[in-house]
Amino acid sequence: MTENLKSVLEALIFISVEPLTIERIKEVLPEDSEADIDEALRRLIDDYAEGTQAIHITRAAGGYVFSTKPAHDPHVRRLLQIERRKKLSGQALEVLSAIAYNQPVTQPEIAAIRGVDSSHALHTLLENNLIKISGRKEAPGRPLLYRTTDKFLAYFGLNAIEELPSADELKKLLEEGNS
């Protein structure tokens, strides 16, 4: 039974271009128990991870998706005619970090952290859907509030924002780095 379920899951993930969430899987397979699905999924992922296949199943933004293994990066890029993947600028990364750790956060608050204006980087991040506007702060001027998106998680290979080290862990990291 689990073997069959495993193969069903494989098909579902294969056909999904965007990460397939566990919620969606349950919707599609109402007759299977949650425990069965979890078990089958885990075994499927292990099979790919340990196997010699060129692809594996990665988690991104809380969903599952087939990806090529890192070893094949050069060849894939040649096929796609991409010399180098575009990277976020240091500025954009800073703003993104400030938002990720303080969300929801306003532009003046981001500026207060960084000490410089961040409007350009904010614009770029918004256009790339790495952040979104989540409302307005009940403060003078009612400034817009920003949050990170699921695409942010997927872009950095995270499943949840909690996977980033906590503020205290960061402090420790910094202290270790300095000593």
Partner 1 sequence: MPDSDDILDAPGPTAPVDGASAVLDPAVPSSMPAGSEGAGGDGSAVAALDLTAPASAPVDPEGYQIRLRNFEGPLDLLLFLIKKKKVEINDIPIAVITREYLAYLGQLEKMDIDREAEFLLMAAVLIYIKSQTLLPREQVLEPDFEPKQRSIDHLLPYDRIKAVVELLRDKEEEQAQIWQRSALTAPLPDGDLDLVEVSLFDLAESFFALMKRKQAETARVFKGKEISMADKMSEIVEALKAQGAIDFLDYLWAQETLEEALIAFFCLLELIKARAVMAVQEQLFHTIKVWLRKDAPEKDES
115: nearest Cα among 96, 129, 95, 133 = 95
Residue-wise DSSP of 72-131: GHHHHHHHHT-SS-----HHHHHHHHHHHHH-SEEHHHHHHHHSS--HHHHHHHHHTTSE
Q: Which residue has the tokens 């010699």?
A: 52
Check residue 92 for interaction with partner 1 (CB under 8 A): yes
CB-CB contact of 159 with 59 (8 Å): yes
Binding mask 5-44 for partner 1 (x = CB under 8 A): ------------xx--------------------------
Radius of gyration of the chain (CA): 20
Among 43, 114, 132, 147, which residue interacts with partner 1 (rule: CB under 8 A)? 114
CB-CB contact of 150 with 61 (8 Å): yes
Task: Indicate the residue type of 56.
Answer: H
Distance of closest approach, residue 122 Cβ to partner 1, in angstroms: 13
Alpha-helix residue ranges (DSSP H) falling in 29-89 = 34-50, 73-80
Distance of closest approach, residue 138 Cβ to partner 1, in angstroms: 14
Among 82, 133, 160, 161, which residue interacts with partner 1 (rule: CB under 8 A)? 82
Counting residues that bind partner 1 (by CB under 8 A) gives 57
- Range in contact with partner 1 (rule: CB under 8 A) among 3-11, 26-34, 40-48, 61-69: 61-69
Check residue 48 for interaction with partner 1 (CB under 8 A): no
Distance of closest approach, residue 5 Cβ to partner 1, in angstroms: 23
The span from the CA of 89 to the CA of 76, in Å, is: 24
Among 4, 7, 89, 119, which residue interacts with partner 1 (rule: CB under 8 A)? 89
Q: Which parts of this chain interact with partner 1 (CB under 8 A)?
A: 17-18, 58, 60, 65-70, 72-73, 76, 80-83, 85-90, 92-94, 96-98, 100-102, 105, 108-109, 112-115, 124, 127-130, 151, 155-158, 164-165, 167, 170-171, 173-174, 177
